[in-house]
Chain A
Amino acid sequence: MISIKRRSLGDFIGDIVIYAVMTILALLMVIPFIYVIAASFAKESEIQTRPLFLWPEQPTLAAYKKVFDMNDMGPTVFRSLGVSIGVTLVGTIINMLFTTTMAYGLSRKDLVGKGPILKMVMFTMVFSGGMIPTFLVVRALGMYDTFTALILPGAISAYNMLIVRNFFMGLPIELEEAAAIDGCSEIGIFFKIALPLSMPVIATFSLFYGVGHWNDYMASLIYIDDQKKYPFTLVLRSLVMQNAEEMTEGELPPSDTLKMAVIVIGTIPILCVYPFLQKHFAAGTMVGAVKG
């Protein structure tokens, strides 16, 4: 009896420590967000005087008004948001179309030529041409400084494609056979049977790809030259980095509240889709990814 009692007391203390540590860690993960959001609603003077705060003393929308003011930063912000939204939507559709069609094709058990294609895909995961040769190919195709350069060169992630293929391979073949007997074409089977059965996978990877496009910085940095085509990430970066020395005479540097507001605008869409995303990646889609 004594030993059992002692053990449970140890367990109890252990539990307290574990829950406390995890709670603190989780809070550390979100405090920067809360600070940025709070600061974006604060007055500039408050940011300058209070080091860290999680709630502004006198909330104000001044920063957001300025960001969306059409006589001020509005045009740049709206244009870059438009670019980011457009590239994210079109890019994700292309990603999913390319990824699912290829994954479905390669999920066929007796497809002639499947082996070599799979080997090629896996080889690209080990070795790649690198940044410069890829850039030269994209440029030779006339895609430099166009939005296609942000969409096509990353149309398929080999890793994602292989996971989707794994999922397709687990679908019951009987359904497809039945549809074929009923006179459904192969392409019809793909769109009417296989895809609707794969909605969790499609949702998960659409969101992965979409977040990738929204957050993209590198591809835009490499392929986009014209400032009018800048996505939001590039605008955000240049805005945050602007400081007093770089500004021309008479112009005021963007204040901290303004920077915070722009950071918030760049993150909000992610935080909006996140709850939907989270439901799925816990559900075991990722489990198959543990070992390629």
Chain B
Amino acid sequence: MAKAQKIVLTPEEKAHQKVRRRAQIKRDRWIYLLLLPGFLYFIIFKIVPMYGVLIAFKDYYAPSQFFGPGFSEFGKDWVGFENFRLFLTDSSFWMLLRNTLIISGMNIIFFFPLPIVMALLLNEMKVQWYKKAIQTLVYVPHFVSMVVVFSITYVLLRAPAAKESGGAIYEIVKTLNGGNGVDIMQDKIAIYWVVLLQNVWKETGWGTIIFLAALAGVDVEQYEAAIVDGANRWQQLIYITLPAITGTIVTMLILRMGSVLNTGYEQLILLKNSGNADSIQTFDTYVYFQGMQGGEYGYTTAVSLFKSIISIIFIQSANAIAKHAGQEGLY
């Protein structure tokens, strides 16, 4: 395609264009009114906080009882990269990085393929009413609150306290383990599997939608032609179905890579307790606990800014690698 030539406008044409734009704006004045609430929303709650990121370079904190009267905050002096230096040299940095990578890594390795596999299985189901029924059931957990997921987990896994016996799964594990109960909720290693299983349970079904949409676009004639050529079911899967969703898989993987450092807040904040804190404290929850509860505003903003920048680098690199490998990429 030929490159669009840059059109050089004469002064009269420029003046004319200006008049026309003004007429357009006047014509669309009601449209601008409709746009206004949304526009203000983005400015106030999205753009202004981006400017607020500057406190990452300030010694900005609230006293420990920051919910007290007046919300007095101390120290608003510029400190350059001091907050970043503090964070990167802090002993908890490596702990947080390790935990974040373990949780994200387990999710990418064990969770990421599951919706793809489930979508392929659903795609093979030809009895439509049964397929629909199954879909209805597997989508449900997505719409359940994380608090409910946590509550169910807690009720099932909790170790016995005074006057109470343990949760249902606790008692099963105890029996299998020869009478020794394991407090999974407090366990430093087992808790990772709880995090993973909660994700698997909640999001596997919902995750199939995007792949099913891609699969719905495959031309049926391709399968018919393949069958005529003697391709079996497995060959159809390898040569037609999988190539059809490769683009979607790559897109999802790039997005997932970009959010390797994001572990989310709710799930881990809910699961955290005195026993597992050193295992499931991640960058995200650290920002919440140190910032929101500890009042270290400047410092934790530096932490989340650091995380955002790494994420952007990750997503750009993943995109570049995908493009290099001949895939479409995100943009």
- A-side residues, CB < 8 A to B, are 3, 7, 10-11, 14-15, 18-19, 21-23, 25-30, 32-33, 35-36, 39, 47-48, 51-52, 97-99, 101-106, 108, 110-112, 117, 120-121, 124, 126-139, 141, 152-153, 155-156, 158, 161, 185-187, 190, 211, 214-218, 221-222, 225, 233, 236-237, 240-241, 243-245, 252-253, 256, 259-260, 262-263, 266-267, 270-271, 274, 277-278, 281-282, 284, 286-287, 289-292
Contact = CB atoms under 8 A, between A and B. Distances in A.
B151 A211 contact: no
Nearest to A236: B147
A22 B148 CA distance: 24
Given A127-B50, A240-B154, 12 more contacts: A15-B126, A29-B140, A108-B28, A129-B51, A133-B51, A161-B38, A233-B145, A259-B151, A266-B151, A277-B143, A287-B213, A290-B251
Contact of A130 (B53, B168, B205): B53
The number of chain B residues touching the other chain, given as a range, is 35 or more
Interface stretch (B3-11, B100-108, B274-282, B285-293): B285-293
B171 A218 contact: no
A158 B46 CA distance: 10
25 contacts: A3-B230, A7-B232, A15-B124, A19-B130, A22-B118, A22-B125, A25-B138, A102-B34, A105-B38, A111-B28, A112-B25, A117-B39, A120-B47, A128-B46, A129-B51, A130-B287, A131-B265, A131-B287, A131-B288, A134-B52, A136-B52, A217-B270, A218-B266, A263-B155, A289-B210
Contacts of B148: 215, 236, 263, 266-267
Contacts of B144: 215, 267, 270
B277 to A, nearest CB: 15
A112 B35 CA distance: 12
Interface stretch (B84-92, B157-165, B188-196): B157-165
Given A102-B38, A187-B30, A218-B265, A18 B46 contact: no
A51 B181 CA distance: 14
A288 to B, nearest CB: 9
B37 A274 contact: no
B152 interface: yes
Contacts of A274: 140, 143
Contacts of A10: 232-233
Interface in B129-181: 130, 133-141, 143-148, 150-152, 154-156, 158, 161-165, 168-169, 171-172
Nearest to A35: B168
Contacts of A18: 121, 124-125
A99 B154 CA distance: 37
